Amino acid sequence: MRTPLDLPLETLLTRRTMLKAAAVGGIALLLDGCASAASSSSSNGAKARRSMTLGTVTDFAPTEILRAGVNTTTLSLIFDTLADVDLTTVQPTPMIATSWVWNSDKTELTVNLRDDVYFHSGRKLGPEDAIYSIKATQSSTAGAQIGGTTDLITAMRVTGPNQFKITVSEPISSFANVLVLTPLIDRKTFSGLASGKQVVGTGPFRFESWVPGSSISLRRNDRYWQHGLPRLDSVKVRVFGSEQSLVAAIRDNEIDLAWNLVPSDAALLKRGGKFASLTTGAAVSEWYVGVNVKSKPFDDVRIRQAIAYALDRERIVKQAFASYGAASCLPWSTSLPGVAAADATHYPYDPDKAKALLREAGASGVTAPILTNSTNTIAEAILNIVQYNLTAAGFKVKASQVQATTFQNQLQAASIDGLWINDVGQTYLSLGTVLLGNAPFKITKNTSNVTDPEYVSLAKRVIYASTAAQEASANRGLSAYVLDQAFHITVGSIPTVSAAATSLSGVQTSGGGAIELTGAKLT
């Protein structure tokens, strides 16, 4: 008897048979009555309006809690700071610290704290914890930018149940940023913080769990000092392996907010009309072309100025920043005291002027090596435009890209040969903090190898300015120097750009650029 095994293959696999099978399969897929992961993910919002999912490509880094600009998705959810900052006036505003007052010669700061703040462990926050948190930033292994400022503290002591005093040897103009940039950590559980096992703060959400590279789960802090807040019961932060998968997730309604998107992706999502585009109030990232002044021929200021004239900043903002942010020649905000608005356009786009400067320096056709971080999409976009601009101005550009760790290693060692493209944070805060804590500007050793005594002197005038008039004058002098010497050639600044579901409202950002969901809600 013939069995199916004995039949020729063509009898079984006719065109008609295969088309029938495909049709049946397709109908089965469409009529799938079982639970669907896709439909359950897109209806998540309808089921639980008090639980929010946030997406990011940057994982939680508990070892870097004290470093600004790192844990921007979780820092302000779990931790509070002593003060926040009003991004319009760039002045600190009360948070856990209700007030702070300098003595007459500005060498002693008295800080008063709220009386109703509790750690997630249940322990009441006291001035000892504030002192502990500030001391932690002084540790050489903390990597905290504010550590450059807190290193100038000579003493700290508790002077009341909710009060402590900080002593410095001389007035420091930007000292209030210590209150803004220091998260309040629990000294009793700090040893468990680095591994992510005990992450205890005073913020609106309690840390529940962290699966490295996957997700962080947070739950509402029912004992938060802002009564009635937060409005959400829980927040889940999902870590995505790539920007593409983050975009796919927000489009698929798997998450309510995609944090810190590449600007072009955010613009694309906004054009679709289904998502609201959110930006942080401050331009948290200042992008620049750095120059190693010890690297020939860039020790010649005319060549550095030629680079500054050659850059089409408006095009960079339009293409690399997708029109988010603004072009500027100055690393910091023109609203800082003493800084002129005209400084932002000190170097207009002028390739002819750039060529003339190169000719004057006898350097037409000089090779300009540029280094960037290969994993940064914005850096790559800026590189393409800068490469084009410099070539048009008469440079012979040699671009190279290295991995993030290698790039960071060379930056830290100030050993990059020629130029590089990178961003720096906190420049929207006062200059003093930046000069003491950020590598491109540090007076001790900076990434451009600037050791000019004039720079050091101007920077110290800014750091130790004790009156508003002195601060304005010092800012004016330093700005003029940085622009003239062109070792840090700013192209523009950009805020953090995110896309949010239209059902989400009340999202804000802290003075340090971290997301704040205290008042956020889902409708």
Partner 1 sequence: MPYLAKRLLVAIGVLFIASIAIFMLLHLASGNPATVLAGPDASAAQVAAVARQLHLDQPLPLQYWHWLSGLLTGNLGQSYVLKRPIGALIAQRLGSTVQLMIGATVLMCVGGFAFGVVAAETHSRFVRWLVDLISAAALSAPPFVSAVIFIFVFAISWRVLPASGQLNFLNNPWLSLQYLVMPSVAAALPASAVVGRLLATEMRRVRQDEFVRTAIAKGAGRWRVVLRHVLPNALGPALVELGIRIGELFAGAVVVESLFTRSGIGSLLVSAVEDRDYMLADDLLLMSVAFAIMMQLLTEAGMARIDRRLLLESTLT
Q: Which residues bind partner 1 (CB under 8 A)?
A: 2-10, 13, 15, 18, 29, 32, 34-42, 59, 62-64, 67, 70, 140-141, 143, 145, 194-196, 211-214, 238-242, 244-245, 248-249, 251-252, 254, 375, 403-406, 408-413, 437-439, 442, 444-445
> Considering only CA atoms, which of 392, 447, 441 is closest in space to residue 418?
447
Query: Coil, helix or strand for 368?
Result: strand
| Residue 282 near residue 494 (C-beta atoms within 8 A) | no
> Which positions ≥6 away from 171 have C-beta within 8 Å?
102, 105, 106, 107, 464, 465, 466
Is residue 183 a contact partner of residue 471, using CB atoms and an 8 Å limit?
no
Which residue is it, tokens 């800082």?
Answer: 336
Q: How far apart are CA 420 and CA 428, in angstroms?
A: 21
Quick one: 272 or 365, whose CB is closer to partner 1? 272
| CA dist., res. 231 & res. 252, Å (int) | 25
* Shortest distance (Å) from residue 277 CB to partner 1: 19
Residue 456 Cβ, how far from partner 1 at the closest point, in Å? 16
Closest distance of CB 373 from partner 1, Å: 10
- DSSP character at residue 7: S
Least distance between partner 1 and beta carbon 420 (Å): 12
Closest to 411 (Cα-Cα) out of 306, 290, 266: 290
- Half-sphere CA count of 1, side-chain side, radius 13 A: 2
Of 254 and 300, CB closest to partner 1? 254
- Residue closer to partner 1, measured from CB, 40 or 159: 40
Indicate the residue among 279 and 410 with the shorter CB distance to partner 1.
Answer: 410
**Nearest distance, CB of residue 286 and partner 1, angstroms:** 14
CA–CA separation, 335 and 327 (whole Å): 15
Q: Which is nearer to partner 1, 154 or 195 (CB)?
A: 195
Pick the closer one to partner 1 by CB: 8 or 365. 8
Helix/strand/coil for 249: helix
d(CA 239, CA 245): 10
Q: Which is nearer to partner 1, 40 or 367 (CB)?
A: 40
We find the least distance from the C-beta atom of residue 378 to partner 1, in angstroms, to be: 15
Q: What is the largest CA-CA distance in the chain?
A: 110
Tell which residue, 175, 82, 91, has the closest CA to residue 167.
Answer: 175
Q: Which is nearer to partner 1, 400 or 409 (CB)?
A: 409
What would the two tokens of residue 366 be? 């000089």
